[in-house]
């Protein structure tokens, strides 16, 4: 089952990457691309991920996870930033840093999903959980690879990073299969932890960069467009 979960995540994220590549021709300006990407992330978090964390945990665990995710981001930001000035960072280097941070947060989010699958291996539960993993990994792929395309990454790098993001799902299934118990609070914390990182990355690395390149009205408008697209997608599935 861990292999099925890995393949499901890998294919879904790859599909998301292909969608991002197909949409690339319609996103000529980086500020528009970043604003839509930010809207997609906000939509995914507010409509899907945050309610999921609160449902399996509680508000206290959720806010603690978000806060610690923010703290970890500041540490990771310092590591990636090192002694370089923001003004000296090229568009490609900034996008690589943003993509790696998003990849890290998505990987953390995938681990508790794997545990949930591993602790519910009955046939009537496994298939719906794998379907959920598949359909909700596609927008993550769109978000991640939209940023990485700006960074100029190639197909080999896409596949390598996709493997890294999908491994935590398989690891979670493997662990969940053996422990056979519900780690609801841990899952809620890890999901909230992901939210803290993703929101901070989105605001600091994506929206701020977009605002510097364009007008506030334009960025806000396309952020809402991205949010609406994500909302429509989640409503349909």
SS3 57: coil
Distance from chain centroid for Cα 106 = 4
Q: Which of 102, 106, 96 is nearest to 200 (CA)?
A: 102
23 in a structural domain: no
Segment 129-136 mean pLDDT = 76
207 in a structural domain: yes
State how far the Cα of 105 lies from the Cα of 162, in Å rounded to an integer. Answer: 13
State how far the Cα of 45 lies from the Cα of 56, in Å rounded to an integer. Answer: 15
DSSP codes of every residue in 94-105: HHHHHHHHHHHH
Instruction: Flag whether pLDDT at 161 surpasses 50.
Output: yes
Q: How confident is the model at residue 148 (pLDDT cuts 50, 70, 90)?
A: confident
State how far the Cα of 134 lies from the Cα of 95, in Å rounded to an integer. Answer: 26
27 in a structural domain: no
Q: Which residues contact 126 (CB under 8 A, 6 or more apart)?
A: 1, 117, 120
Query: What percent of the chain is predicted at pLDDT more than 70?
Result: 81
State how far the Cα of 53 lies from the Cα of 64, in Å rounded to an integer. Answer: 11
129 in a structural domain: yes
How many folded domains does the chain comprise? 1
Q: Which residue is listed with tokens 């960025």?
A: 219
Count Cβ atoms below 10 Å from residue 132 Cβ, excluding itself: 17
Cα–Cα–Cα angle for 38, 189, 37, rounded to 5 degrees? 10
Query: What percent of the chain is predicted at pLDDT more than 90?
Result: 7
Do 227 and 39 touch, CB atoms closer than 8 A? yes
167 in a structural domain: yes
Q: Is the sign of the CA dihedral 92, 94, 95, 97 positive or negative?
A: positive
230 in a structural domain: yes
Cα–Cα–Cα angle for 234, 235, 237, rounded to 5 degrees? 65
pLDDT tens string 42-55:
988 888 888 878 88
21 in a structural domain: no
Instruction: Flag whether pLDDT at 85 surpasses 70.
Output: no
pLDDT tens string 182-237:
567 777 787 888 788 888 878 887 788 788 778 889 999 999 998 998 889 888 76
Higher pLDDT, 14 or 127: 14
> Which residues constitute the domain of residue 165?
2-13+32-236
Higher pLDDT, 179 or 181: 179
45 in a structural domain: yes
């Amino acid at each position: 089952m861990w292999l099925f979960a890995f393949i499901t995540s890998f294919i879904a994220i790859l599909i998301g990457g292909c969608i991002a590549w197909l949409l690339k021709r319609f996103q000529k300006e980086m500020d528009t691309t970043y604003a839509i990407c930010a809207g997609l992330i906000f939509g995914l978090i507010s409509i899907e991920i945050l309610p999921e964390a609160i449902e399996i945990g509680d508000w206290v665990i959720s806010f603690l996870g978000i806060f610690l995710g923010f703290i970890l981001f500041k540490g990771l930001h310092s590591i990636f930033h090192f002694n370089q000035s923001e003004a000296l960072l090229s568009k490609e280097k900034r996008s690589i840093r943003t993509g790696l941070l998003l990849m890290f947060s998505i990987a953390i989010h995938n681990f508790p999903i794997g545990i949930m699958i591993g602790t519910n291996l009955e046939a009537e539960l496994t298939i719906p959980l794998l379907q959920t993993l598949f359909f909700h990994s596609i927008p993550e792929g769109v978000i991640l690879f939209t940023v990485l395309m700006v960074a100029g990454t190639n197909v080999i790098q896409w596949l390598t990073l996709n493997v890294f993001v999908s491994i935590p799902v398989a690891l979670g299934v493997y662990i969940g299969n053996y422990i056979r118990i519900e780690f609801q609070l841990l899952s809620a914390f890890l999901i909230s932890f992901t939210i803290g990182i993703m929101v901070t990355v989105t605001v600091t690395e994506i929206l701020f960069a977009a605002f510097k390149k364009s007008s506030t009205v334009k960025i806000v408008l396309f952020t809402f467009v991205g949010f609406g697209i994500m909302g429509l997608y989640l409503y349909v599935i």
